[in-house]
Structure 1
Amino acid sequence: MEGTHNEDTSTADLSSGLVVPHNRSSSSSYPKEKQNDSGMSSVEIADEKVDDAYMQVLDKGLEAPEYRNGVQVIQTGRDVSRFVVDIRDDGDEALTFRSIFLGTVFAGMGAALCQIYLFKPVQMSVSTVFLLLIIYTVGNGWARFFPQRNWVVGTRFERLAAVLHFINPGPFSLKEHVVASLVASTAATGSSAVQNFAVQRLYYDTNVEATTAVLATFSTACFGYGLVGLLRPLTVYPSEMVYWLSLPTVSVFQALHFDTAANHKRVKLFWAAFGGMFLYEIIPAYMFPLLNGVNVVCLASQKASSKTRDIITNLFGGTNGNEGMGFLSISFDWQYISSAYMSLPLVQQANSWIGFFFCYIIIMAIYYSNTWNSLAFPMLSTSIFSANGSIYHQSAVFGRQFQLNETALQEVGLPALTGSNAWKNLASNLAIGGLIAHTILFWGPYAVESFKLSYNGEQPDPHFQAMKKYKEAPWWWYIILLALSFVAGLIVVFKGQTTLPWWSYIVALVLGTFVTPFSTLLVARLGNGIATNQLMKMVAGAINPGRPVANLYFSMWSHDVVATSIGLASDLKLGQYLKIPPRVMFLTQVWGTILGAVINYVVMVSVVDSQREILLNPLGNNVWSGQETQSLNSAAVTWSLAKQLYGFNGPYWIIPMSLVIGMVPTTIQWLINKRWPQIGPISVNSIVLPLIYQYSAWMSAGVNSAVISTLIVGLVSQLWLRKYHPGWYMKYNYILGGALDGGAQVMIFVLSFAVFGASGASKPFPSWVGNPTVGNIDYCNGNGTLD
């Protein structure tokens, strides 16, 4: 993932280093208007200082940059800071009425889209590139068409000049653009807190009050932000803390504002692609849903025997929620393909493909070998069941007080997981164990180096040095935010229907605080993280036995602290790269967090109330799915029965044990890497086992018809375009991806409320061959679909 360079820039995969020109990409375009006595601009002086700081690091014995044929090879975060991201700072305004207004408006749309996708068969994130591009277009329109100060200067209306400047300060600047985009993207980040309230609404007939919901969401998000502030010297300031997935966003920002000559083509491509996808998405999403997953095997199975159709549906079906694994299906629905694989480096995608390969084999093997009594349940589902295959009657076991009734448990029996859901939990623990081992063994030396630099106060990163001219957000701001978040959480614990003891709430925060720096370090350095919420659920079950709702909230506070910390730390790094004053970043992120909490809650209530029956259905359909809430509830219920289900005499004892088992292969890999770092064409350390474990359970629920399509998109973007057309790739790849995501997501937003029933009755499209109303959409009609 590169910054903005000339069209003839060559690139290579991250595993072998990115290749960029030796000379700085935009040094010739630095502003010259502020001259000092020596004739050098202030920006040039800053650049000279950071160059000296960088050379001091080299003098201390650290590795010098490597060149290949006169071209800089980007191998480390230090190289990224020095050669990939432009250090330019035009000193423009950041916090203006226009930036906050635009951020607030698009925060509403982003948060609503995010919440809608949490109730879809495939959970998708709202494209940050889309948000920043649409804000860029609207911001430029604002600057051009709104009245300006110079319109009234020298006239009888000159007294209005200050007001007009407040409303329209002139050209839409980079920093205004970044602030507006960060408000919107912060609000468009989902919170498991809101999903917890959906679980209570669906499964426990508890309508959490809006005030309680907002306080709980504020508590989790802002506690995480407070931690990020205290951890800045370790997780944000150093060069090695790159946050690779933020580089495409940085690239687009700098391309739009630093290379204005080429902007017309970029913006033209954005709106053409956005408009085309907006119009096209109505076809696969509403009129012709068969395009979501075309599978030749399914289409050819119409006259097969019932048993054969069942097997074909389980393996090849995948267009409906929890229908099957979608093997060999091709999706033409961009909302499920998305641009994610246009950004992730090929080495990461290769690890995910290995995981996909094992996923097809493992889940089918578990089901047809009847492991965990799998044949008694649907092959794919995140719900919990009774031993006879019916939906588990949890309300009888836990009652109105949300606490275990031992007598009722004896009558109803223990809940059971589907084989795919059990494997998902097992693979999650394998990944967590592998994460711990991989971080310590492969990334430990880098962590030690970062700690030393932080402890000694030596941060030679050129972007950190360039930020010293701005007032830092003081430590006590973050400490006050931590205190407010803690108090807000206590209010929820004492006044809300959480059943969580106050001391357990504190344990949850301590656990989240402990895990945060390790998870953030991994994402910052590797670009991809591992979900640690399974660890939180295990601890919750151990200290809150028999209390499923309490476990929901324990996991919320412990895991959300980690998740929000990672996202907000990435934004802080983006702010450092783009020279946003730290105090403005603080206000921007807190405002975005509060907006997101309110809007997410409102949209959640609307969707849950209007689609209750579908969300409770273990299978869902191709439009709505309760798999996320089902998964949260299943974990809360089963881990509240940890002794009975996960103890050594329980049916799922291997799941907690896999936390330790996951460390062993990574340890062996590390030993092999010490002796044979290169085996044939493969670098041993490029194999990331935790990622493989995670993707080996990727198709355990939901719509699975887009996997092959994402693989094709990844190969076209990251192999063909990036290798053979690097100039086009760097100019247009991220712009195109953001436009396609935006067009699809805005149409889904419109359809959700217009015809999908997000706020009332749905209006299905008339039945025809491309939209069958009987059976599965892809014509894989096994497992009694036509009954």
Structure 2
Amino acid sequence: MTYDIPCVNLGSDEKASLLSKEPVITSGEDVSRYLVDTRDDHDPALTFRSLFLGTIFAGLGAALCQIYLFKPVQVTVSTVFLLLLIYSVGMAWAKFLPRGSLVEGTRFAPLKPILDFVNPGEFRIKEHVIASLVASTASGGSTAVMNFAVQRLYYDTNVEATTAILATFSTACFGYGLVGLLRPLTVYPSEMVYWVNLPTVSIFQALHFDSHANARRVKLFWSAFTSMFCYEVIPSYIFPLLNGVNVICLATQRVSPKAQDVITNLFGGTDGNEGLGLLSLSFDWQYITSSYMSLPLIQQANSWIGFVFCYGIVMAIYYSNAWNSLAFPMLSTSLFSSNGSIYDQAAVFGSTGLLNETALGEVGLPALTGSNAWTNLVANLAIGGLIAHAILFWGPYVVQSFKQARTKTQPDPHWQASAIMNRDYKEVPWYWYLGLLLLAFVSGLIVVLKGQTTLPWWSYITALLLGAFVTPFSTLLYARMGNGVATQQLMKMVAGAINPGRPVANLYFSMWSHDVVGTSIGLAGDLKVGQYLKIPPRAMFVTQVWGTILAVMVSIVDSQRTVLKDPIGTDVWSGQYVQSLNSAAITWSLAKQLYGPHGPYIWVPLSLLFGMVPTVLQWFVAKRWPRLGALRTESIILPLIYQYSAGMTSGTTSPTTSIVLVGLASQLWLRRYHPGWFRQYNYILGGALDGGAQVMIFILSFAVFGASGQPRPFPAWWGNPAEGNVDYCNGNGALG
């Protein structure tokens, strides 16, 4: 039996703004009604083919994720990249492998069930979604994997395979268990969009729903994909200057060294940790990405405010010598001694990861760069602001969502279609998710008691409870705005307070608290994709549980060990992420000395409370003045502004201006003035550009960038200078 869920007629809705009879997509309700088709063909989802393809490409996606974690700009693996490869292989599988119909009426007829099992026929949308979500779940990354990298790089500890497997499984599955229990709040409602997933949803429907309009979308997709695939080799390998063309840097080659230092710090940004990249234009799509083609304009506007603050505040911190900043590079996530040398943490903590008080007295306390201290401070501001904003501004929505779930009155058309679908496909009962939580808890407890974590069992339980508390707040922000706030600082702060002198324990505490939050957000977004595309709930459950245990670690940690430990890095590789994890773990393990009443960074923990105060004041203002001119008062998302005010404090910063311009072109010009084109092609185009760039980067990483061994740099020329910074901001003495 099938059920047709028709799309809502545009003429019957008075809520959406119309331009040339096309709806202007502004809200989650608009997305559900006009952007994503409610069609459901009731085709098979969980098959041998879908799980096999998902498993194979999970390894590829996880490997690519690890590559990007060691890049100077943190970029997530595009699901589009994975779904395209899966689509190509799936279509070939359906076409060329034998099917059961070939042996009907022959002596090989007993083989028909086996052939149908291996090749169930046409490769349709639900099989494609299942395989892609298995792969993308595994490619989402895990703090557990990065913890193992930190232990290998800084403590010469090779984590045992059992510890690695159980720790990764525990964090991922605990997060997924939380997601399942929170579905009525974080998945079902229309406003829970998960904006960055819209290109993926659009491409799935374009590839599998046969219509004249979709044929044009598919043509645009493959044209853009091929063009970007061919182009990406130019800025990423042949002509890296294109990643950060800055007129100020090019025009000031003959100024004094002192002036050049300032210019580099403010305008340089193509090399890792070079500068803030003000007014640089990037033409390298691997770093621009389509994220700002998906994020709502309200989120982008808040991020722009944060960017402006970042330029001014970081320069002010450095040149005012706050936190002794002038003794260190302006941008770096490494730890330093007070004289500016790299901190000798091996002498203080050794390979055991436990504090040696005598050695600490001899070596002294570690120091952060001013920009890194600011990053830690605003991270806590953002967490405090997020909790206050979610409670005060979104509290009524939370209550309403659970009421609608209980009474089955959720108005979202895709949830309604899923509710009808559930007459054929059973929902996942809540106790499945509870059982997953218990299994994850036991797995983690085994790691704590038997593994190389130095984490007490009671601290492990505290970490899980803290992660479970923060998860709903972070998921709400991410689902509504398309971007969350970093929670590592809160987790490490608590870990430092209850596990002093134990940096490795701090790493694992953060993993079982922060990683639970991150995993929950990613898996909730996948559940939303499943709701949009009508995947049977129990098939989604199996898909995501299977995907969480497939992540792998690749060889970059060993092959690029020297670069990853370097406080600056290169324009190709950077250890900023593992450095920041290690730096935070070390400093918070010395919380009393560094963050206590007499410590140099006392304002970092206090900022957690101070972050709530402006949001509370904003709420009172919003009660009195819901609008300030054309602006809704609640549209000011202070935690996002805090987060982005540290947006350029590490890595390559030159893409920022281009990212803003792409967002303006997509979400302001196209969405408002060409809504028909935006609705049909915007997300398809963004996904195609991401896919083309990431396919090429994957090839280049192993072919020439040294991901598996010896790098093969392109010959030097003026677009790829052999000396100095790639963007010719060559004066920064701090860069050596």
TM range (shorter): over 0.9
Tell me, what secondary structure is at the counterpart of 2:57?
helix
Q: Rate the CA distance shift 1:273–1:641 in 2: closer, same or farther, 3 A.
A: same
Q: More deviation in 383-392 or 204-213?
A: 204-213
Distance 1:79 1:625, change over 3 A: closer
| Alpha-carbon spacing, 1:220–1:610, altered in 2? closer, same or farther (3 Å) | same
For residues 695 and 473 of structure 2, the distance between their equivalents in structure 1, rounded to whole angstroms, comes to: 36
Worse-matched range after superposition: 737-746 or 694-703: 737-746
1:583 is the counterpart of 2:538: yes
Letter in 2 for 1:538: M
Map Cα deviations across residues 502-551 of structure 1 (whole Å, 9 max, x no partner).
Answer: 11111111111122222223323343322222111111011001111000
For residue 3 of structure 2, what is the aligned residue in structure 1?
Answer: 43
Query: Is 1:718 aligned with 2:684?
Result: no
Deviations 1:72-94 (A, max 9, x none): 78776566545554333211100
CA contact (8 A) 2:385 2:612 kept: yes
Deviation at 1:319, TM superposition (A): 0.7
Amino acid corresponding to residue 269 of structure 2 in structure 1: G
Counterpart in the other structure of 2:167: 216
Q: How does 1:365-384 map to 2 (within 5 A)?
A: 365-384=316-335
Q: Which runs of 5+ in 1 are unaligned?
A: 1-33, 35-41, 52-63
- Contact preservation (8 Å) 1:148, 1:164: yes
Q: Deviations over 1:351-398 (max 9, x none)?
A: 111111111111001000001110000000001111000111111112
| TM-fit CA distance, 1:151 | 3.7
Partner amino acid, structure 2, of 1:465: A
Tell me, yes or no, if the aligned pair for 1:380 and 1:420 is still in contact at 8 Å: yes
Cα deviation, residue 105, structure 1: 2.4
**Uncovered stretches (5+) of structure 2, i.e. residues with no partner:** none
- In structure 2, give the amino acid aligned to 1:626: G
- 1:459-478 to 2 correspondences below 5 Å: 459=410, 461=412, 462-469=416-423, 470-478=425-433
The aligned counterpart of 2:367 is 416
Q: 1:718 to 1:78 in 2, by over 3 A?
A: closer
Cα distance change on mapping 1:141 and 1:734 into 2, 3 Å: farther
Letter in 2 for 1:345: P
- Partner Cα distance (1:187, 1:728) in 2: 33
CA distance in 1, matches of 2:26, 2:653: 35
Calculate the aligned-residue CA RMSD, in Å: 2.3
CA contact (8 A) 1:294 1:778 kept: yes
- Quote the offset at 1:680 in angstroms: 2.5
2:692 to 743, 750, 754: 743
Q: Cα distance, 1:456 vs. partner?
A: 5.1
Instruction: Rate the CA distance shift 1:163–1:400 in 2: closer, same or farther, 3 A.
Output: closer
> Cα distance, 1:47 vs. partner?
7.2
User: Normalising by structure 1, what TM-score?
Assistant: 0.88
C-alpha distance 107-320 of structure 1, shift in aligned 2 (>3 A): same
Contact 1:356 1:698 in 2 (8 A): yes
Equivalent residue for 2:617, pick from 656, 664, 668: 668
* Matches of 2:649 and 2:473, distance apart in 1: 27
* Compared CA separation, residues 65 and 560, structure 1 to 2 (3 A): farther
Following superposition, the deviation at residue 637 of structure 1 comes to: 0.6
CA shift, 1:672, in A, is 1.9
User: Contact between 2:296 and 2:482, CA under 8 Å: does it hold in 1?
Assistant: no
Say whether residues 1:620 and 2:569 are aligned partners: yes
Q: Note the C-alpha offset of 1:458.
A: 5.0
Structure 1 residues 80 and 774, CA gap change in structure 2 (3 angstroms)? closer
1:686 to 628, 631, 635: 635
* Match of residue 196 from structure 1: 147
1:109-128 superposed matches below 5 A = 109-128=60-79
Farther-moved stretch of structure 1 (132-141 vs 654-663): 132-141
1:31-75 deviations in Å (ceiling 9; x for gaps): xxx5xxxxxxx414x779x99xxxxxxxxxxxx963657987877
Structure 1 CA distance for aligned equivalents of residues 421 and 110 of structure 2: 36
- Please tell me whether the aligned partners of residues 157 and 351 of structure 2 are also in contact (alpha carbons under 8 angstroms): no
1:695 offset after TM fit, Å? 0.5
Match of 2:710 among 761, 773, 786: 761
The match for 2:91 is 140
TM-score, length basis structure 2: 0.94
CA distance in 2: counterparts of 1:739 and 1:65, whole angstroms: 33
Contact 1:266 1:731 in 2 (8 A): yes
Of residues 362-371 and 253-262 in structure 1, the stretch that sits farther from structure 2 once superposed is 253-262
Distance (whole Å) between structure 2 residues aligned to residue 577 and residue 738 of structure 1:
17
Deviations 1:662-688 (A, max 9, x none): 112222222222222222232222111
Counterpart residue identity of residue 3, structure 2: V
Deviation at 1:478, TM superposition (A): 2.3
Q: For residues 220 and 331 of structure 1, what CA distance do their matches in structure 2 show?
A: 36
After TM superposition, list the pairs within 5 Å mapping 1:629-668 onto structure 2. 629-668=578-617
- Three-state SS of the structure 1 residue aligned to 2:43 is coil
Q: Which amino acid aligns with 2:512?
A: W
* Counterpart pick for 2:522 among 567, 579, 584: 567
Q: Distance in 2 between matches of 1:696 and 1:76?
A: 26
Counterpart CA distance in 2 for 1:680 and 1:282 is 47
- Shift of residue 166, structure 1, vs aligned partner: 2.1
Aligned-pair distance for 1:118? 0.1
Q: Which residue of 1 aligns with 2:654?
A: 705
Q: 1:242, CA displacement in angstroms?
A: 3.5
Q: 1:351 to 1:487 in 2, by over 3 A?
A: same
**Which residue of 2 is the match for residue 304 of structure 1?**
255
Compared CA separation, residues 328 and 164, structure 1 to 2 (3 A): same
The equivalent of 1:539 in structure 2 is: 494
Secondary structure in 1 matching 2:549: helix
Given that 2:266 and 2:315 are in contact with CA atoms closer than 8 Å, whether structure 1 keeps it comes out as: yes
Q: 1:388-434: CA deviations, max 9, x gaps?
A: 00111111112232111222111111111100000101111111111
Q: Does the 8 Å CA contact 1:233/1:454 hold for their aligned counterparts?
A: yes
Deviations 1:260-286 (A, max 9, x none): 333433333323322222222222111
Aligned residues: 727
Q: What are the residue-to-residue correspondences of 1:50-199 with 2, within 5 Å?
A: 66=15, 77=28, 80-81=31-32, 84-155=35-106, 157-199=108-150
Q: Which residue of 1 aligns with 2:223?
A: 272
Which deviates more, 332-341 or 234-243? 234-243
State the alpha-carbon separation in 1 of the partners of residues 26 and 566 from structure 2: 48
The answer as to whether partners of 2:24 and 2:672 remain within 8 angstroms in 1 is no
Distance in 2 (CA, whole Å) between partners of 1:523 and 1:493 is: 30
Contact residue 65 and residue 79 of structure 1 kept, 8 A: no
Counterpart amino acid of residue 509 in structure 1 = L
CA distance in 1, matches of 2:282, 2:196: 25
Query: Mean Cα displacement is larger for which, 519-528 or 187-196?
Result: 519-528
Secondary structure (helix, strand or coil) at the match of 1:416 reads coil
- CA 563–101 in structure 1, closer or farther in 2 if over 3 Å, else same: same
Deviations 1:89-114 (A, max 9, x none): 21110011221222222222211111
Instruction: Give the Cα separation in 2 of the matches to 1:465 and 1:87.
Output: 12
Asked if 1:242 corresponds to 2:193, the answer is yes
C-alpha contact 2:568 2:735 (8 A) present in aligned 1: no
Between 344-353 and 269-278, the greater mean CA deviation after superposition: 269-278
2:172–2:548 CA contact under 8 A, matched in 1: yes
SS in 2 for 1:472: coil
Equivalent residue of 2:3, what SS? Answer: helix
Cα drift, residue 184 of structure 1: 1.3
Preserved CA contact (<8 Å) 2:571 2:652: yes
1:509 paired to 2:458: no
Cα deviation code 1:618-648 (max 9, x no counterpart)? 0001010000001001100111111111112
User: Partner of 1:384: helix, strand, or coil?
Assistant: coil
User: C-alpha displacement at 1:785, in angstroms?
Assistant: 7.5
Cα displacement (A) at 1:344? 0.9
Which deviates more from structure 2 when the two are superposed, residues 194-203 or residues 666-675?
666-675
**Distance change in 2, residues 1:516/1:91 (3 Å):** same
Q: 1:309-324 counterparts in 2 under 5 A?
A: 309-324=260-275
Paired letter, 2:494 = V
- 1:728 CA displacement: 2.5
